Amino acid sequence: MSAPTVDIVLKYFSDFSPKQVDQLRALGDLYTEWNAKINVISRKDIESLYEKHILHSLTIAAIFDFPKGLQIIDIGTGGGFPGVPLAIFFPEVQFHLVDSVGKKLKIIEAVKEAINLPNVTTQHTRVEEIKNRKFDFVVSRAVAPLKDLWTWSKPLLKNTQFTVEGPTSDEVYKSGLICLKGGDLAQEISESGTRPRMIEISSLFDEEYFKEKYLVYVKA
C-alpha cells in the first residue's frame, strides 16, 4: 500500500488556494530530507506524514475557524506540529512555535523559509519560562498530561472571545487550550481538574488511525 500523499488532506479540505496546496505538497520532501539529518519523526511515521502529522494537526482547523489577527502558541511543537500545518491553513493568524530542543526548531525555520511562511515564529525555551506574552490560544499535540498542559497554558492566555458564523448558528469561542490526545483520557481529565469539551477525531476523518483520538478544548 502506498504512503498517503497530500490528497488525504484535500479529501477533507477543499478551499485551499493553489499556493496553500503547493506549500502542503512541499512538506513531504522537506520533512523527509530534514528528518534524515535531525530525527524528529520516527522512520515509520515519516511515510505517513500527511495522515499522522499534517491531517492530524488540521483537526483543529476542522473545528475552529480562527479569525484574522489571532496570536496562537504551539507548546512542545517538536518538528512543527500542529503549528506548521495550521499556519498554512490560517495565513493571517500568527503562530509562535516553542520547544525546549533547539535542533527541532532548526527544521521549522528551514521549512518556513522554503515554503514562505511569514506567520510563524519560533523560540527555543521551556514553556514555563515565557513571561510577558499572552496568546489567544495554546495548541499542543500529546506532549504532556492535561494537568501539566493546563498549568503551563493558564499564564499565557488572554481572556478573549470571538464569534464564528456557522451554517446553522453562530458559535462563540473563548481563549483556551486546544490539544490533540489519544486513548482513555478519563483519569487524565480528572487529575487536571478541568471540564473540557471533547471531540472524537474519528467523527471528522474516516481513517483507522484516528480511532480513539480526540481534540480536547479547555476554556480559559
> CA-to-CA distance for 195 and 103, rounded, in angstroms?
35
495548541: which residue's cell? 139
Distance of CA 157 to the CA centre of its chain: 16
141 appears as a binding residue in the annotation: yes
> Helix, strand, coil % (nearest 5) of the chain?
40, 20, 35
128 appears as a binding residue in the annotation: yes
Alpha helices in 64-176 (DSSP H): 83-89, 102-115, 146-153
76 appears as a binding residue in the annotation: yes
162 appears as a binding residue in the annotation: no
Quick one: CA torsion of 154, 159, 165, 166, rounded to 10 degrees?
Answer: 30
Specify which residues 141 forms β-bridges with. 180
Residue type, 25: R
Residue type, 94: Q
**How many helices (DSSP H) and strands (DSSP E) are in the chain?**
9, 9
165 appears as a binding residue in the annotation: no
> CA-to-CA distance for 217 and 107, rounded, in angstroms?
28
Which positions make up the binding site? Answer: 76, 81, 127-128, 141
Binding-site residues from annotation for S-adenosyl-L-methionine: 76, 81, 127-128, 141
